[in-house]
Amino acid sequence: HRAMQEYARDDYDRIAEIADFSRHKSVMDVGGGYGVLIQNIKRKNPDTICYLFDLPKVIDNCQTEGLEKIRGDFFKGIPAVSEAIVLSRIIHDWDDDKAYWILHNCYNSIPEGGILYLIENFTDLLEDEAALLSLNMLAVCKNYERTLGQYQFLLLQAGFYIEGYRKLNQLQHILIAKK
């Protein structure tokens, strides 16, 4: 988690400039590790209530201040405390069945009209199609990087409809979906 925290500092530095989180009273980073991404959102939107949701062992080691920290497991359920959720580089770790359950639990936790921000590498939007990233994912997680269309399909299966997507940085995009 410390290594992921370090690369996240650069990867998510401009997230609050690229996506408009000011339209939300509350945002939760699900599987957010030590909270770099949600801290960047909070810094640009100080009146927004920001939640960090992760496994108990991660939250217990998190030194981040100014966030509401919630212990849990996104496979078992996500608390219904926020009108928007950010899932960053989570779904690519899981096969389609497990990815569906994570997205399904996100869907169930946000109110009607709530927004899910899905941050991933979309292979069809990358010059090299993320071939080495997919190989790494296959070796480590027994999964692979997906195309934009594959992520859209998973979101539609979980009940979301797609609002659009935006480029976040050199590799990642934000796919915006609405309940």
Residue type, 21: F
pLDDT tens for the chain, 179 residues: list them: 554 555 555 677 789 899 999 999 999 999 999 999 999 999 999 999 999 999 999 999 998 888 999 999 999 999 999 999 999 999 988 999 999 999 999 999 999 999 999 999 888 876 655 444 544 544 455 556 889 999 999 999 999 999 999 999 888 899 999 99
Q: What are phi and psi of 41, to 5 degrees?
A: -65, -45
Query: DSSP for 61-96?
Result: T----SSEEEE--TTT---S--SEEEEES-GGGS-H
Quote the CA–CA distance of 18 and 174 in Å, as a whole number. Answer: 9
Please tell me the distance from the alpha carbon of residue 151 to that of residue 92, in angstroms, as a whole number: 9
Q: Catalytic residue positions?
A: 92
